[in-house]
Amino acid sequence: MVHATASSEAIDPDDVTVAYVGGGSRQWAPNLIQDLAQSGLDGRVRLYDEYEESAKRNARFGNWVQSREGAVADWTYEAAESLAGALAGADIVVLSTQYDPAETFVHDLDVPRRYGIYGAVSATIGPGGIMRAMRTVPLYREFAAAIAERCPDAWVFNYTNPVHFVTRALYDEYPDINALGLCHEVLGTRHRLARYAREHLGMADATREDVSVNVKGINHFTWVDEARCKGVDLWPTLEELRDGEEGHQEFTASDLADESVFVDNWQVTWELFRQFGILPAAGDRHLVEYATWFIQDGKEGLNRWGVKRTGSDYRAKHWTPAESEQTTDVDAWMAGDREFELTESNEVFVDIAETLAGDGSYVTNLNLPNVGQVSDLQDDAIVETNAVVRAGEVKPVAAGGFPRPVRALVRGHVETIETVIEASADGDLDAAFEGFLIDQQVRTLQTEAARELFAELVDIQREYLESWDLEESTVLAGSSACSVD
């Protein structure tokens, strides 16, 4: 079993070494650079990326930001030529990577759809989420082994999806790793609850920081059974909203036509709250993939609940800088072709890092191995609860268990994750298929169709699955969707 409390020597706030794996990131890295510039920490960031030119671009941007108004911290940036060089002696490791969506993600979305599985995001669970895990987990085992060798006491911040699969793989490979899985879905719920406090309880200045919740679950399928704002119980207000017009809205495709794919109308949240008496704490677009009733009727069923599907065209476009609204254009900022203003990302990386390096404490939601903080899920599974951060220490907070129906749902997803992680240890593709087969989206199919779906997804992405034993797979050999070389 892994340790109950992640701990290491306190970081020196005046001399922090950050290794950023995936440092060519087009959105996360520029956001992190801006957050660090406004932090109470100083140090150096080594950016490592398979696409070295992207890492070099972000290094130039990081050093450029240091001369901008409002940059109060002292940081230097460089592109590392190797993973080993980036990690050597690091105090903090940031993991944020993905494969080219045009070659991977689009298939995760489009292929299951042909089998009747209409996933909304396909990034963390379901056929697409499992395939993403199978591509990513072997690489992250390599990262964990390298961390064990080069910076064994470093704090590892994992932002890479699927967070629960990836964080579990890090601990499975290196049990003494100090890895934290981060996600902003619960932060978004706290933002929303602060809004309700402002609108319905007269707390005009309420913010996310004023809202406290007892949160528990797995990433993108978290639940809240207590919520307060400035000490005031929000539950009566939430029940009133749930039972009124706010909680009973219906939508059509035309209603959502001009909305972002990230629109969140909370109608799935309210429905699950009605059914189970406990409030989901992730966006509806993620919840529907774990509570699969909402994706059974294709696009119409999804839209009825105010959820808009993330299509493969969006994913492919997001990868292309010239076409993507989300891609941060650091070149245009540095060239003066686009106005730059130093902003904060609303992520909690800096808050955690400053607390690890200083005094006091900080509470936020984190994905960590279960050592009892969720009482009715298995030990060592990656669960998401609040955790207390102090100098050199992160300790999860006991959150209790679930009502029986919710426990059954969550446990099923944990079994899928654990089965795939266990299979990944020696690349057993047939064992991974067992995890695929028990997934709650896949269970809507006949076993033969599930096998064909799995084989087709594997076959079309086989160059990204080299760590898996494709040649000895009986699942692939028996499938008409796959031609084994």
Residues assigned a catalytic role? 184
Contact 91, 18 (CB under 8 A): yes
Give the three-class secondary structure for 298: helix
Residue 401 structure tokens: 């268990």
Burial call 109-147: b when 16+ CB within 10 Å, e when fewer: bbbbbebebbbbbbbbbbbbbbbbbbbbbbbbbebbebb
Residues 468 and 55: their CA atoms lie apart, in Å, by: 29
Residue 477 structure tokens: 């050999």
Q: Which helix (H) or strand (E) holds 404?
A: helix 404-424
Contact 112, 126 (CB under 8 A): yes
Residue 28: which residues within 8 A CB-CB, separation 6 or more?
22, 96, 159
Contact 352, 364 (CB under 8 A): yes
* Structure-token match 């008496």, residue found: 277
**For residue 403, cis peptide bond before it (omega within 30 degrees of 0):** no
Listed in order, strand segments (DSSP E) in 146-277 are: 155-158, 178-181, 211-218, 221-229, 232-233
What angle in degrees, to the nearest 10, is found between the helix axes of 126-150 and 404-424? 60
Burial call 392-402: b when 16+ CB within 10 Å, e when fewer: bbbbbeebeeb
Find the radius of gyration of the CA atoms of the chain: 22
Residues 91 and 41: their CA atoms lie apart, in Å, by: 12
